[in-house]
Structure 1
């Protein structure tokens, strides 16, 4: 079993670490030149005058859209109660069946009815998926 160092050695090592930390010179550690922070900010390649700043900002700005177009663009991703219900409880697929009715005579008068097509859903009721139910397999 290894013995713990005595408290005296612990204090001595802490004192040595503190003295080593204080022995560095701040100018050696963080050298600096003759420039001030304002000189660095307004240095070469940066936007110096107010006119240049306005010109740079105008290049970055987008034109304002017409209000009607802006509303229509935002409507596609805005949360509404209807969107939330459709997302949480999507309708299950209910294929439509197309039936053709041949020309025939109808009623007591035997009136001619031309042929026509009609569409009706395969299932009588609309079915909804439960929250979390996968629709990939359907």
Structure 2
């Protein structure tokens, strides 16, 4: 049994050695060819700014891709546009109804026990005070959920 394990480890070491030597055998020039073009030249050729044949092809492909994403407005889109736009238009009617609802800011109630205050200890009776939980008032975007979760 131990000899099988030794043979296996020797075979694994041999395969690993061959892989490492094969990796070292690749030349840098073959793997990363170096030409006279700068990064800016490569960018301009492939982005369509170079004026060469490759740039024109890239520019045409870009325009074709944009054109395939465009679509004409349907009659339903044209009919729905005024109603959609009036939702965000300010009028006297919708100024009364707030578009930006205030988010809940619960009040905290605190009782202050009777105590002495000041340099000359003056008795202060106990009292209750109310203050908001959050320092600032926050508002929801139009259509955002504002009811309790």
TM-score range, shorter chain: 0.3 to 0.5
Q: Give the structure with higher Rg (CA).
A: 1
User: TM-score, length-normalised on structure 1?
Assistant: 0.39
TM-score, normalised via structure 2 length:
0.36
Structure number with higher helix proportion: 2
| Relative contact order, higher structure (CA 8 A, sep 6+) | 1
